[in-house]
Amino acid sequence: MTGTPTHCPYCALQCGMTLTPGDGPPAVAAREDVPANRGGLCQKGWTAADLLGVPDRLTTPLARPRRDAPLEPCTWDEALDRVAAGVSRLRAAHGPDAVAVFGGGGLTNEKAYQLGKFARIGLGTSQIDYNGRFCMSSAAAASLRAFGMDRGLPGPITDLGRSDAVLLVGGNPAETMPPFMRHLADLRGRGGALIVVDPRRTATARAADLHLRPLPGTDLALANGLLHLAIAEGLVDEAYVASRTTGFEAVRTVVNAYWPGRVERITGVPEPQLREAVRLLAGGERAHILTGRGGEQHAKGVDTVSAFVNLALALGLPGREGSGYGCVTGQGNGQGGREHGQKADQLPGYRRIDDPAARAHVAAVWGVDPDVLPGPGRSAYELLSALGTPDGPKALLLFGSNPVVSAPRAAAVADRLDALDLLVVADFVPSETARRADVVLPTAQWAEESGTMTNLEGRVLRRRRAVPPPDGVRTDLEIVAGLAGRLGAPGKWSTDPAEVFEELRAASAGGPADYAGISYERIEREGGVFWPCPDEDHPGTPRPYLDRFPTPDGRARFVPVEHRGPAEDVDGRYPVYLTTGRVLAQYQSGAQTRRIPALADAAPGPFVELHPDLAGRLGIEDGADVRLSTRRGSATVRARLTGDIRDDTVFVPFHWPGEGSANLLTNPALDPVSRMPEFKVCAVRLEPAGTSEARAGECGEDAS
């Protein structure tokens, strides 16, 4: 049989693969025609087809006959009728904002669009956000205020391989998206330099020419220090700054205070390394500065990214072909998922929901009066924290997310879910969140449905159906249409992804993320199309800033920012920094990858990575169980001693639930602009599990 060309269900690299049906799971082959992976896949990609047949795959709706009863199988009509009745009852009693929607960065563009439309005119609620808020929202906000547009990479990913230097801040693609490393290998193979900023000596850092190891939470000071040196050493592109930017003098004044000695004291990065990094970045014709979650998932994440954008602008990188600032997007459709209406403050096409012109345009496409559209709602963590409270939503419809594992201060989030009158979860497995639901709706998986995804380059790609879903399973579009019909929602609610995409094109037309000129046929013909693409004669925009920036005056904006410490610093009771992240064989909350035997064998459970010197001071042995405690709770994980981490910092991956869940510990302090939680740094105490000190610290003393 002929294989079906499609894309991996995991990260935003969206590696190309071909699926060929057989007796068991479809056979996976890597595609050579997709520039992002060029015939390579990681272990997650090679085993992706195994997801389709996991033993606990959901194939029938489930509902609780009463709140204290277990979930039981029911028919689709029974399930959807119950959801519609519950939603109608709660809206009548408490108003439309009594019902909330929570989406995911892995949903196709079509599903993200339809979900946002359903929230606004099917439910009339402002209470919608998605787990992508926890991904690259800080980079998005910083890009918007600097460039007037938010897009992951500044050009095709192949530009990285032709660069002379890449500075990667807080990213570990060797584990999170391994085929990405092919492009960095191309860079180094032709004599370019890779500079990695990370408190850990990760697999990516080991491949670097220069590794800067700052104290967690000090990346902003590092960036300001690098810009100070660029100015002091005459490396600023003065002609570029004068002709293509505004605001440099205010930034120059701020970074005057970040002389190398001070930056070394704040960050722990030696002055000679700071000087070497700046010279490597400025020494070639083409260079890139890329940020990842390590620099972004902070209560000052937007300002941190702005500091690195300032450095990029001073060196004249954005808008220079083959150079620029970019963000290494995480989730599979992290880019497209926020462009078309899942986010609390946005409408399709990356339009602001409080913009009258944007409201009028989208309302006309939907066939409603603009006045019926709600305004901005709560951001993701604020929404989850409000669930079941007197002034918060009483019902939640959740698609493609598992916040019981992935949200910060996860135990409190679980309590809020339990306080709801109605929790509805659409998923393909009984995730930790689905197990708490009143109604569970079994959904089709990535290879069982069609649609589009937008990868980290801003390239819109086709995901193609390769196999039919199991009997009894419906797509998210079918679920939304079923609920919209029962609730009497105005407008058309197609279950055909191609028809939904045509409506998305119209809704996005004229917006910052303009898909009007992109069609399924064109994606097929060209292998993907870069947005913005306003009409079918437009070539697409692989490098959006070459001529001008999409700001009112066409110039990029410097933004002065100052270093400040983490929201929660170490002290005598919690003397060590905790940071979190991912490992090679697992993905996000692990609801998918923990079910794949090969991946579970490769990464069977959580651990804490700590320096042998720290372990010696605390009496912790390699392989022993360790109790970690913060002001929010405690977790028990296995110790892994390594010299690859600072001796004042520990690292815990966040893919597992239960007593080893990293997000029982993390701090939900929010960035004031992006509303990103501070996943990447908080204060923690460690003891060998079972000691009297560890037992006494089992209850957190939440001070937030």
Per-residue pLDDT of 274-326, as tens digits, reads 999 999 999 999 999 999 999 999 999 999 999 999 999 999 999 999 999 99
Higher pLDDT, 166 or 699: 166
Distance CA 172, CA 451 (A): 29
Q: Is 647 helix (H, G, I), strand (E, B) or coil?
A: coil
Position 418 scores a pLDDT of: 97
Quickly name the fold that domain 137-327 has.
Dimethylsulfoxide Reductase; domain 2 (3.40.228)
Q: Is the pLDDT of residue 699 over 90?
A: no
pLDDT in tens, 621-650: 999 999 999 999 999 999 999 999 999 999
- The per-residue pLDDT for 26 is 95
- 467 class by beta-carbon count within 10 Å (0-12 exposed, 13-18 middle, 19+ buried): middle
pLDDT above 80 for 454: yes
Contacts of 594 by beta carbon, 8 Å cutoff, 6+ apart: 586, 600, 655, 656
Domain boundaries, the chain: 4-53, 62-134+333-530, 137-327, 576-696
Which of 692, 574, 571, 689 minimizes the C-alpha distance to 635? 689
User: For residue range 53-66, what is the model confidence (pLDDT) as tens digits?
Assistant: 999 999 999 999 98
Confidence band of 533 (pLDDT split at 50, 70, 90): very high
Give just the sign of the alpha carbon dihedral 574, 580, 586, 589: positive
Which residue is associated with the tokens 């391994």?
178
Give the pLDDT confidence score for residue 701 in this predicted structure.
Answer: 55
Mean pLDDT of the chain: 95
- Rounded to whole angstroms, the Cα distance separating 78 from 75 reads 5
Write the class of the CATH domain 62-134+333-530: alpha beta
For the chain, what's the residue count? 704
Please give the Cα distance from 155 to 172 (Å, whole number): 20
Task: Quote the pLDDT of residue 703.
Answer: 40
Tokens 């197990």, residue located: 435
Q: Does residue 698 surpass a pLDDT of 60?
A: no
Domain 4-53 has CATH 3.30.200.210: yes
Does an H or E element contain 230, and which? Answer: helix 219-232
Asked whether the CA dihedral 307, 311, 312, 316 is positive or negative, the reply is positive
pLDDT (tens digit, 9 = 90+) per residue, 175-189? 999 999 999 999 999
**Neighbour-count burial for 274-308, b at 16+ CB within 10 Å, e otherwise:** bebbbebbbeeebbbbbbbbbbbbbbbbbbbbbbb
CA atoms in the 13 A half-sphere facing the CB of 136: 31
- What CATH class does 576-696 carry? mainly beta
pTM for the complete prediction?
0.95
pLDDT band at 98 (very low <50, low <70, confident <90, very high): very high
Contact between 9 and 48 under an 8 Å Cβ cutoff? The reply is yes
CA dist 146 and 152 (Å) reads 14
